[in-house]
């Protein structure tokens, strides 16, 4: 099966704070129910208590013994078992998080209508905690106006509905509708479990984030590139989704699994990224240029491989300037749109950062020191957030997800002002 989103559990962030949370996992009748087994394992192995509430029909895909064994808890689908414990109320009231994965079109419709005809929908109606739906279905069902209206209703009520991934579906067809990779779903849930007052604060915001490093072709085999891994941009996407945003990720040459819920657009060169970012930024509330963009590209692209036997001496590579995408985005921004840039510096970091902020004209500039052992390809980073109003905030060294959350805090306070 082809799956652009596959990743190994070893890439998963852990439940860093070591606090046990009570999670209800609703499972609906879709083939992707088997992927929820992996999600239960990731959640329990990181110390959380998971109660699985499958719909009756979902047991055709994965049976009750599997859920009981994986979660260590008894499993019920209706409200008539252990009635003395009042499970239809207790489960929702006592949960720290309710996740429905996979969520079918039918369950989204029942949840949007407020129906309470099984244990899962009762739990959804009594939940006092964040509720996450991870839909999985055929593309036609996902795109149907009825499903989209139900999704909008649920989002409007504060639920996080994670956009399905694109890829192979149940049959031989492909399209949007896959349940995201369980490790990536887990990563979003893990961020959500750690969030407090920031919960859902980016809901309704459409955010476009560029990530990775551009490659400028010399010939069909060779290119000029840089060391950016895309980790910071991907951490920004993951954390924004956990805070309720709709995220489009424009990725240049990134070899990481796609964050659950992000719409992925791949590009390679600065020219591609320029066209894509200008196109996508029209509809965005926030645009973040986290990508490392090549300032120059070879002036002459050679259609066939340059052979060393043809050259007595290597020819110098003549370069021409690439557009400054961040500046173009600032020039074309619409009222109310917020634009965030990054500055990767090796020396005089703050001084360069301040002059870059003035030169680029963006609202926030995230300044970080880069070098052989700093930032590039590493899971951690440190940064200073410079704002166009003259304020600044230092973010201490920590996981790139923590840097990302500090950036979203600054973005959120500006969106609210
Ligand atoms: N950037 C861009 N287009 C470019 C170069 C950079 O949009 N052609 C963006 C980057 O994505 C980043 C910001 O501009 O958000 C600063 O990038 P950086 O490489 O630090 O700075 P440069 O503009 O390249 O300036 P210098 O080379 O002088 O450091």
**Per-residue pLDDT tens over the stretch 358-379:** 999 999 999 998 766 666 777 7
CA 269 to centroid of ligand 1, rounded, Å: 14
Question: How far does the centroid of ligand 1 lie from the alpha carbon of residue 359, in Å?
Answer: 10
Q: Which residues contact 249 (CB under 8 A, 6 or more apart)?
A: 209, 211, 233, 234, 237, 258, 259, 262, 263, 264, 265
By most ligand atoms within 8 Å of CB, the mutation choice from 208, 252, 280, 341 for ligand 1 is 341
What is the number of the ligand 1 atom nearest to the C-alpha of 325? 7
Give residue 237's pLDDT band: very low, low, confident or very high (50, 70, 90).
Answer: very high
- H helices of 316-363, where? 325-331, 349-360
Whole-number Å distance between alpha carbons of 244 and 203: 4
Sheet of strand 131-135, all strands in order from the earlier edge strand to the far edge: 49-54, 22-27, 97-103, 131-135, 160-161
- The rounded Å distance from CA 350 to ligand 1 centre is 15
Q: Judge whether residue 352 has pLDDT over 50.
A: yes
The alpha carbon of residue 89 and the mean position of all alpha carbons in its chain are separated, in whole angstroms, by 32
Task: Please give the residue that has the higher pLDDT: either 411 or 195.
Answer: 411
Q: What's this model's pTM, rounded to 2 decimal places?
A: 0.91
pLDDT tens, residue by residue, 279-338: 999 999 999 999 999 999 999 999 999 888 777 777 889 999 999 999 999 999 999 999
For the chain, percent of residues with pLDDT exceeding 90 = 78
Q: Whose CA is nearest to atom 27 of ligand 1?
A: 295
Mean pLDDT, residues 84-102 taken together: 87
- Name the closest-CA residue to atom 12, ligand 1: 342
What distance in angstroms lies between residue 268's CA and the mean position of ligand 1's atoms?
A: 16
Helix (H) or strand (E) holding 319: strand 319-321
Mean pLDDT of 249-267: 97
Which residue segments constitute the domains of the chain, with CATH numbers given? 22-194 (3.40.50.1950), 198-415 (3.40.50.10300)
Report CA(344)–ligand 1 centroid distance (Å): 8
Q: Which residues are catalytic?
A: 226
**284: its two tokens:** 């965005």
341 CA closest ligand 1 atom index: 15
Per-residue confidence (pLDDT) for residue 15, from 0 to 100: 44
The H or E element that residue 50 is part of is strand 49-54
Three-state SS annotation for 238-292: HHHHHCCCEEEEEEECCCCCCCCCCEEEEECCHHHHHHHHHHHHCCCCEEEECCE
Report the nearest-CA residue for atom 20 of ligand 1: 343
Q: Return the residue whose CA atom lies nearest to atom 28 of ligand 1.
A: 356
Counting atoms of ligand 1 from 1, which one is nearest the CA of 322?
8
What residue's CA is closest to ligand 1, atom 18?
Answer: 343
CA 134 to chain centre: 13
- Ligand 1 residue neighbourhood (C-beta within 6 Å): 270, 289, 291, 293, 295, 322, 324-326, 341-344
């Amino acid at each position: 099966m082809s799956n652009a989103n596959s990743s190994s559990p070893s890439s998963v962030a852990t439940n860093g704070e070591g606090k046990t949370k009570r999670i209800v996992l609703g499972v609906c009748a879709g083939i992707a129910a088997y992927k929820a087994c992996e999600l239960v394992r990731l959640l329990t192995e990181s110390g959380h208590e998971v109660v699985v509430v499958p719909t009756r029909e979902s047991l055709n895909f994965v049976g009750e013994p599997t859920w009981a064994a994986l979660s260590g808890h008894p499993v019920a689908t209706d409200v008539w078992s252990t009635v003395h414990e009042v499970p239809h109320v207790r489960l929702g009231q006592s949960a720290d998080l309710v996740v429905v994965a996979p969520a079918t079109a039918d369950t989204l419709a029942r949840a949007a209508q407020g129906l309470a005809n099984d244990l899962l929908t009762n739990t959804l109606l009594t939940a006092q905690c964040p509720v996450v739906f991870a839909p999985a279905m055929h593309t036609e069902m996902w795109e149907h106006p009825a499903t989209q209206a139900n999704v909008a209703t649920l989002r409007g009520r504060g639920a996080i509905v994670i956009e399905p991934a694109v890829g192979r579906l149940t049959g031989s067809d492909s399209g949007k509708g896959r349940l995201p990779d369980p490790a990536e779903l887990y990563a979003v849930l893990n961020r959500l479990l750690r969030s407090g007052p920031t919960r859902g604060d980016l809901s309704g915001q459409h955010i476009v984030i560029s990530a990775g490093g551009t490659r400028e072709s010399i010939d069909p085999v060779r290119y000029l590139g840089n060391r950016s891994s895309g980790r910071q941009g991907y951490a920004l996407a993951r954390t924004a989704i956990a805070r309720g945003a709709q995220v489009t990720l424009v990725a240049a040459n990134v070899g990481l699994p796609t964050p659950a819920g992000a719409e992925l657009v791949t590009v390679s060169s600065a020219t591609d990224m320029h066209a894509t970012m200008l196109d996508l930024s029209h509809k965005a509330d926030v645009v973040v240029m986290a990508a490392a963009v090549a300032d120059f590209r070879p002036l002459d692209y050679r259609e066939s491989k340059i052979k060393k036997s043809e050259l007595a001496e290597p020819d110098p590579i003549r370069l021409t300037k690439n557009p400054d995408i961040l500046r173009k985005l600032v020039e074309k921004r619409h009222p109310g749109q917020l634009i965030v840039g990054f500055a990767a510096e090796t020396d005089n970091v703050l001084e360069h950062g301040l002059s870059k902020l003035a030169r680029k004209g963006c609202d926030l500039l995230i300044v970080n020191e880069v070098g052989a052992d700093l930032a590039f390809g590493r899971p951690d980073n440190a940064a200073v957030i410079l704002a166009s109003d003259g304020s600044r905030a230092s973010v201490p060294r920590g996981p790139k997800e923590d840097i990302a959350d500090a950036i979203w805090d600054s973005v959120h306070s500006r969106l609210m002002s």
